[in-house]
């Protein structure tokens, strides 16, 4: 592939970025580790000292912990399923020649450019609000009781909002993958007597497997740490109904003023994320080998 010389040059040139990134990541990580073994409560900042694994114990036995864990998984899985399924369908749709294709494609990608906080607020106030929201308006127009999405189905609502944000990403990646599908293969399958559905199942889907893997891997990384959407819509509530691990860490550190326990939660979240990553790579990583 490359010569010894060009490899050395490449290493030399990425070195500054690597060092910067390492510092950026290592320092906070080390401080989190440090705090997770310290007593550090903002209400009593003068009482400090080493506490061993007490912070971890507290976090793991916190009744909210199991809820947060299941919520995190539900959030990740829900969004992944919705974005991958709808993404494949949308990509196929956008691949068809149609009038105004360019504009439609830009519109589909647009949600990705909206900041998470902004889009969550728009959803909360303009769509899901039980009094002023569009959904409530529509429900009233047909004579139904408005549904209070964020308090009656908080987690599902957040899954919906996050899916809306990530759908463009999935669609975009899958669309480029579909466009790289050799049209002669499709025609060959057509001549071989495959129905449109079989063609999708036997030709398109296998062709997309690598792109789907990429979408799942990248999205999982980001979905495990969803925070802004929860903060501005439900505040993790009602109760802990929409609290995920990230939000629980925040709640412990900055709402309960226990930075030590929050740090322990952060470390636990990192470990869990790595477990998920290992599982994912085991299960679907082989798709990435050419």
Partner 1 sequence: MGNITLKQITKSFGDVQVIPPLDLEINEGEFVVFVGPSGCGKSTLMRLIAGLEDVTSGSIEIDGRNATETSPAKRGLAMVFQSYALYPHMSVRKNIAFPLRMAGMSKEEQNAKVEAAASVLNLTDYLERRPGQLSGGQRQRVAIGRAIVREPAAFLFDEPLSNLDAALRVGMRMEISELHKKLATTMIYVTHDQVEAMTMADKIVVLQAGNIEQVGGPLELYHRPRNTFVAGFIGSPKMNLFSGEEATKLGGDTVGIRPEHLNVSTESGMWKGRVGVSEHLGSDTFLHVHDTGLTDLITVRVSGEMAVHHGDTIYLSPDMDKLHRFGADGLRLA
Interaction site with partner 1 (CB under 8 A): 182, 184-185, 187-195, 198, 202-203, 206-207, 209
Give whichever of 101 and 152 is closer to partner 1, judged by the CB atom. 101
d(CA 286, CA 134): 45
Distance CA 173, CA 215 (A): 7
CB of 188 to partner 1, least distance (A): 4
Using the minimum distance from each CB to partner 1, give the nearer residue, 235 or 287. Answer: 287
- CB 217, CB 280: distance < 8 Å: yes
* DSSP SS3 for 129: coil
| CA–CA–CA angle 220, 225, 230 (5° rounding) | 120
Of the two residues 52 and 193, which places its CB atom closer to partner 1 in the complex? 193
Residue closer to partner 1 (CB basis): 121 or 181: 181
Residue 182 CB neighbour total at 10 angstroms: 10
Gyration radius of the chain's alpha carbons: 23
Residue nearer to partner 1 on the CB measure, 57 or 182: 182
Number of H helices, E strands in the chain: 14, 2
Beta-carbon neighbour count of residue 46 at 10 Å? 5
Shortest Cβ 182–partner 1 spacing (Å):
7
Residue 200: CB minimum distance to partner 1, A: 13
């Amino acid at each position: 592939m490359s010569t010894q010389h060009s490899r050395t040059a490449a290493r030399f040139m990425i070195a500054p970025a690597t060092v910067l990134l390492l510092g950026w990541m290592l320092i906070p990580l080390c401080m989190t580790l440090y705090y997770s073994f310290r007593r550090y409560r903002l209400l009593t900042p003068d009482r400090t000292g080493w506490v061993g694994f007490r912070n971890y114990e507290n976090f793991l036995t916190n009744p909210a912990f199991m809820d947060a864990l299941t919520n995190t998984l539900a959030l990740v899985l829900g969004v992944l399923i919705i974005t991958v399924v709808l993404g494949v369908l949308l990509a196929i749709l956008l691949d068809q020649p149609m009038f105004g294709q360019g504009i439609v494609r830009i519109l589909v990608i647009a949600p990705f450019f909206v900041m998470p906080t902004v889009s969550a607020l728009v959803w909360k106030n303009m769509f899901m609000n039980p009094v002023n929201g569009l959904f409530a308006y529509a429900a009233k127009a047909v004579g139904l009781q408005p549904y209070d999405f964020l308090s009656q189905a908080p987690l599902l609502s957040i899954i919906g909002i996050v899916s809306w944000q990530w759908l463009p990403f999935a669609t975009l990646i899958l669309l480029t993958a579909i466009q790289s599908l050799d049209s002669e293969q499709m025609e060959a399958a057509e001549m071989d007597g495959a129905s449109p559905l079989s063609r999708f199942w036997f030709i398109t889907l296998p062709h997309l497997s690598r792109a789907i893997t990429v979408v799942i891997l990248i999205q999982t990384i980001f979905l495990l740490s969803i925070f802004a959407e929860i903060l501005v819509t439900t505040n993790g509530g009602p109760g802990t109904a929409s609290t995920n691990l990230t939000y629980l860490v925040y709640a412990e550190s900055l709402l309960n003023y226990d930075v030590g326990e929050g740090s322990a939660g952060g470390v636990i979240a990192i470990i869990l994320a790595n477990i998920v990553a290992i599982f994912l790579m085991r299960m679907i990583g082989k798709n990435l080998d050419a």
